[in-house]
Amino acid sequence: MNHRAQLHVLREFFFSQIQGEPIYDPEGNRVGKLRDLAIRWEGEGPPRVTGIKFAKGYQKHIPIDKVEEMTHDNIRLVGKLKEEDLIPLQPDEIYVGKWLMDKQIIDLKGSKVVRVNDIKLFWVKSGDRKYVIPMAVDIGLRGLARRLGLEFLFKRLENQYVWWQFIQHLEERTAALQLRAERAKLDQLHPADLADLIEDLDYKKRTDFMEDLDVEVAAEAFSEMERDTQIEILEHMNDMQASDLLEEMPPDEVADILGELPEAKADALLNLMEPEGAQEVRQLMVYEEGTSGSLMTTEYIALSPQITVTEAFAQLRHLAREAETIYYLYLVEDDKTLSGVLSLRELLMAEPDAVLRDLMQTRIITVHPQDSEQTVAENLKKYDLLTIPVVDEANRMLGIITVDDILEVLIPDRSSLETFANFFVSKRTVRG
């Protein structure tokens, strides 16, 4: 049997309505006024108010269990206020007025950054206990008007609430209160939505926020940001964390980003990266902007033409994690010479013991690293390709260019994709 006491909501009000209101003892003596509310987060639900800050410059507050009654215009205590009743702010507590009002928070449900204009509070009773629960933050114009004493002008506007379970705060003082459940919600946002959230923050919060994310999640969001934002974050981020972030990204993207940083900063970050990955990035940075070499990625699937289909699938399970795309499999000799290409579809339809050399197509459309972006675009369109390999003069494999890599050249304003729709529906790898 569940003996948990039922919760009764006695009253609803806003923080702005009670801030500054007088606090009285049972005899009617004024002991101070409500300056702020201390809260503690104890679970996935809303936090609870733990105390009332009642005196300016005084670092202790009145425990909430000493409050008998709370309305929007006064607070009444259970008994006479004694010094020994007062408690200091604990490390896992914050003052909502100081650390939440007028601050930026993340609305996890709406995937956006919003500003706290007011806080909706419930005065509740459970058994013999009375306490205050912050239920939501008000992010709307009406909340701002309420604080200015002008709410009567905006009565027709709906209050805009973000309920507490959808809040992720950003201020440093609240770091101890960020729950694992909240972090999980944030990590589950689409990288593009997370990127939009971060871009809405000021530069200081952007950097702090990025450093607090899981590095893989941060890298995915970072890839979706505008270049100016990427550069700004790297310039303010700790070099070690910045290098960890870059290591999670495709080498071609890293090369593009570092190419816009001061040379000394770029070198410092490269020197902190794993040597193999840093070397790939350095090689890509050699190519001039506007060439196919500047567009290519070195993350592709390369297999030996001597292996069987069964062996190919065994290798794919490991290689696919690091590849930019697995539409096509490139068959290369020991000296990296490109011998053929095979689509994943063709591999799936082949007999398990078939050798890849017998299945591959040998008439391959390629480009050289010095070829122009326009040449790449024309070949992708003409031959209905999703990717195109980049080779040197000796036909050694250097990398690949995907449709995504060239889209900005084909469609600078991204306003119409119809002309290039065949890129996304093609089933051909090459045209003989």
- Per-residue model confidence as pLDDT tens digits over 26-46: 999 999 999 999 998 765 667
> How many CB atoms are closer than 10 A to CB 89?
17
Do 97 and 15 form a contact (C-beta atoms < 8 A)?
yes
Q: In percent, how much of the chain has pLDDT > 70?
A: 85
Averaged over 72-85, what is the pLDDT?
Answer: 89
**In this predicted model, what pLDDT tens digit does every residue of 19-31 receive, in sequence order?**
999 999 999 999 9
Tell me phi and psi for residue 258, to 5 degrees.
Answer: -65, -25
pLDDT of residue 265: 94
How large is the average pLDDT for residues 3-8? Answer: 68
User: What gap in Å lies between CA 280 and CA 276, rounded to an integer?
Assistant: 7
Burial (Cβ within 10 Å: 0-12, 13-18, ≥19) of residue 308: middle
Amino acid 371: pLDDT: 95
Query: How, if at all, do strands 104-107 and 112-115 pair?
Result: antiparallel
pLDDT at residue 421, rounded to an integer? 44
Q: CA-to-CA distance for 343 and 327, rounded, in angstroms?
A: 6
Report phi then psi at 324, rounded to 5. Answer: -70, -35
Which residues of the chain does CATH 1.25.60.10 include? 191-284
3-class secondary structure per residue, the chain: CCCCCCEEEEEEEEHHHHCCCEEECCCCCEEEECCEEEEECCCCCCCEEEEEECCCCCCEEEEHHHEEEECCCCEEECCCCCHHHCEECCCCEEEHHHHCCCCEEEECCCCEEEECCEEEEEEEEECCEEEEEEEEEECCHHHHHHHCCCHHHHCCCCCCEEEHHHEEECCHHHHHHCCHHHHHHHHCCCHHHHHHHHHCCCHHHHHHHHHHCCHHHHHHHHHCCCHHHHHHHHHHCCHHHHHHHHHCCCHHHHHHHHCCCCHHHHHHHHHHCCHHHHHHHHHHHCCCCCEHHHHCECCCCEECCCCEHHHHHHHHHHHCCCCCCCCEEEEECCCCEEEEEEEHHHHHHCCCCCEHHHHCECCCCCECCCCEHHHHHHHHHHCCCCEEEEECCCCEEEEEEEHHHHHHHHCCCCCCCHHHCHHHHCCCCCCC
Q: Which of 52-61, 85-94, 197-206, 211-220 has the lowest mean pLDDT?
A: 197-206
Question: What is the tens place of the pLDDT at every residue in 260-302?
Answer: 999 999 999 999 999 999 999 999 999 988 899 988 988 889 9
pLDDT band at 161 (very low <50, low <70, confident <90, very high): confident
User: What whole-number distance in Å separates Cα of residue 133 and Cα of residue 188?
Assistant: 27
Looking at residue 234, its pLDDT comes to 92
Instruction: Give yes or no for a contact between 169 and 103, defined as CB atoms under 8 angstroms apart.
Output: yes
pLDDT at residue 116, rounded to an integer: 86
The predicted structure's pLDDT at residue 321: 72
Its CATH class, for the domain covering 302-425, is alpha beta
Q: Looking at 187-201, 242-256, 335-349, which range is the least confident one?
A: 187-201
* Cα distance between residue 106 and residue 311, in whole Å: 47
Residue 425's pLDDT is 41
Q: Which residue has the tokens 């974050």?
A: 233
Contact 194, 210 (CB under 8 A): no
Cβ neighbours, 10 Å, residue 34: 20
The Cα-based distances of 324 to 51, 52, 331, 347, 386 in angstroms read 53, 55, 16, 18, 12
Confidence tier at 430 by pLDDT (50, 70, 90): very low
Q: In which region does residue 131 sit, left (phi positive, over 0), alpha (psi from -120 to 50) or beta (all else)?
A: beta
Pick the more confident residue, 414 or 89.
89
Rounded Cα distance, 23 and 33, in Å: 5
As annotated, the residues of the chain forming the CATH 3.10.580.10 domain(s) are: 302-425
Structure confidence by residue, pLDDT tens digits, 332-381: 999 999 999 999 899 999 999 999 999 999 999 999 999 999 999 999 98
Place of tokens 């306003």: 415
pTM of the model: 0.56
Does CATH place domain 191-284 in 1.20.1740.10?
Answer: no
Averaged pLDDT for residues 125-130: 87
